[in-house]
Structure 1
Amino acid sequence: MGAPEILTDQDLPTVKHDCHYHPGDPAKWHCPGCLTHYCSRCMPDADVRNRRALCPHCSQAMRYLGAATEVVPFWQRIGAFFRYPFHADPLIVIAICTFVPMIAPGGLAGIALALVLVLALVKYTYEVINYTAEGHLKPPPISAAFTGSGFDIAVLQVLVFILMGALVGVAERFGGPLLMGLTVALVVLALPASIMILAMERSVKSAVNPAHLVSLISRIGWPYFLLYGYLVLVVLASGAAQDLALTHFPMWLSQPLAGFLNSTFTLILFHMLGYLLFQYQEELGFAADLQDDAAPTERDRSLRFDADLDMNLKDGHYDRVQSMLKEALKRQPDNPVRIGQLATLLLARNDRSELYRYHPRILGWLADRNDGVRMDELLTLLREADPAFRLEDPELAVRCARALYQAGAFKSALRLLQDFHKRFPDSDQLAPAYLLAAQVLANGLSQWEKAGAFLTFVEKRCSGHPLHGQVAGYLEQVRLKQPLKEPRASFAADLPEPARSRTG
């Protein structure tokens, strides 16, 4: 990705925004048509890498805002700045550029090699600014120092220094020491801004243009001066460390050590400048996102659907949401996510006709979640809509009754199991249904005689069922008025024969 250009148009937005639908979440996209801000959750299908997305409302191309609103302020990352040069890549670059000239041959070849390595180190330091401004909080690779274009940055920086020096000279000639001192102070204050502009735009003219420098500083505001204070402290620390090395170590060690320390502190400075650009990207007119450790993921089309549901719900478009879910269930009739979303919406809206229409799938979804409370609520609504309501699926009736029993809705569970042998005389769910009815009567309602009647029915009518062998034990528990335990083989009965043999 190329270096973003720092814009100076005065109409660029300088206010950070939250998502319209998720207040508190930083906006990542802005639609110029409907003036709506969206976060990443609202735009799961956006092409972040290429900065492209269409507004879900008006389908206009949107502006990418980057990570500016969620970036940690630079003053909270001081420790990370000082650790930055000690990653493998920058350490190797510094070591090569510092120690290789010591073992290089003398003469013109050695001078040429040293010059090339100086250019490589300067190029790498400026790459640090660009790389950090683009959202990389880890250093650029070694190749950034020795390959590709950009070696001319050292020449450009020298030209900037020459022009700034000439400005100071002119000030001394026409205004004397007082004006010269004031000019030096202004030049030093603007130097970090000049370096940032030169790194991003590769233009000497822009780097010394007072209008550009003032614009950059004013857009960042007071944090620029705070960073300037940190930079002064880092420069002083660098000078003290180099002076210590030159004073207390022999020449053969002190010079390369001083050079190593100088390069290390320079990378810290440039990383801080790049991070300041990254933090205030929106004010400066470009967009970048955190990119380290961000592996590309395959887009899930269902996330776009969920985002549209969420936005329509928050806009109060409940009929549209209901239609969207019904269409989705036509394509995927057994999708548990969509069934659950439709169930939640229909229950909230008390839409009895639609609840009746979709009740088999909704009850199955509630049974899978063992949500007997909401199941009881739904069954009440269905019976109010149709007093003669009954489930026509024996397996679903047993599953729902079990969920109701576990939720303590004993009468509602018994109602689902009422006349089960008449309604489903040939069903393999008859034994599980009446054993469950016995449990409800015994454990839930303490009606031991009726529980025994259901168990006796199973003993006589379901002799071939795998659960039949447990009936005698249950009858003994009923005689002693002891709680009936959950049938241990209730789910094994539904397994195919090979599976049961393996578990046995």
Structure 2
Amino acid sequence: MTDQTIVPFWQRLREISLYPAQPGALITLIVLSLARLLGLLPGVGRIVTLLVLVALYKFAFEVLRATANGHMEPPENALDMEESVGRQGVMMQGAFIVLAFLSFLVGGVLFGEDGIWFGIAASLLLLLGWPGACMSLAIDQNFWHALNPGTWMQIMSRLGWPYFLAFGLMALIFLSSANAQSLVQGVLPLLIGLPVLYFISGYALIATFHLMGYLVWQYQDELGYTPSNTASLPAIDRNADPDQFILDEAAQMIRDGETDMATDTLRAHLRERGGTEALHTQYRKLLRLKGDPAELIRHGKEWLPMLLAQDREKAAVELCREMVELDPTFVVSDAESNTRLAKRAAALGQTQLALRLINGFHKRHPKSADIPEMYLLAARLLSERMGKDAEAKALLTQIRTAYPEHPLLPQIDALLKLIESVSSTTKPAAT
């Protein structure tokens, strides 16, 4: 992967500006903006305001991380990032403000009246380093490493002029946000104006964090970053790839700004001749950039059985997870594939996806011999990973009743006994 196969961010200004208007981000911004009204409550108002700010920064860093991994849709269901990252984001903003204030004090002590210029220069340097610090915190999740000026300088030097171009675009977004807020402020009543002001500032914040994430995605080689959505795939020998000629042709179209033409070319090739994994992967990247969920779903339904036929179960699970995010009604059509994906998802720690694949399995595949095994797996996940012993016990009881002679009965009874013993030890003693 090189930045030559990815549309440069300066050719995606419209998509960047409209990113927070997508449903996943828009709903989050509306909820947080309305929650900001709770900050008016006496006594707890400041705490609520801080919690809302932490939640906004947590979502912003999730946006940065998701974009850096090649996902051009806002994160909706998967909140993988720890809550501490949101707090660290707020702390880092506070640290930058404190450092800027201290630079003016130190400048005054060292240079007297001319110290103001020292403070201004230091503040500008801090402002310029802010995007680098945010990118570092989102990727490494290391607060002190992100706060280190050497980290910012290293990111600036590796990216070169695109970093400063992106910084200028971020400044323009925030200036536009401030201008919009000044137009609204004082015009609307407090109960309406406060959420509107918060929504405007949040919109600008999400747009800039998406831009920072895209900067990482575009220059992943320069930054030494491996996106998590491709980290699990084996390295592809590009010289040996049978479809390299079409990949190179599409890459040239992208460099020329003909992204739609590149997408159409790959689509036509896949429909006429099929393609290697590299071609399928590149096609889906272009669809994400274009924002075409319908085609992503159609292509995913075609590619999923191909991955399973090639025993690429891990890649198939990742594709299935993406399909569920794109279409909550998506189901796997055949029982064998459903069973393989659910088992592999559970083994990979993707509990929610595994349970999603098992849910309703007996209705979709009533003749499948895997029904007891699937629901035994669901009971294990509910009990061991989610602490829902009551639901697991009810599920095991149903399996036992429906399949009294099944070979898995000893495992079902053992899990039931374990759940009952754990439940009995956690109940409070009777008085």
Whichever of the two has the greater Rg, that structure is 1
Q: TM-score, normalised by structure 2?
A: 0.49
Q: TM-score, normalised by structure 1?
A: 0.42
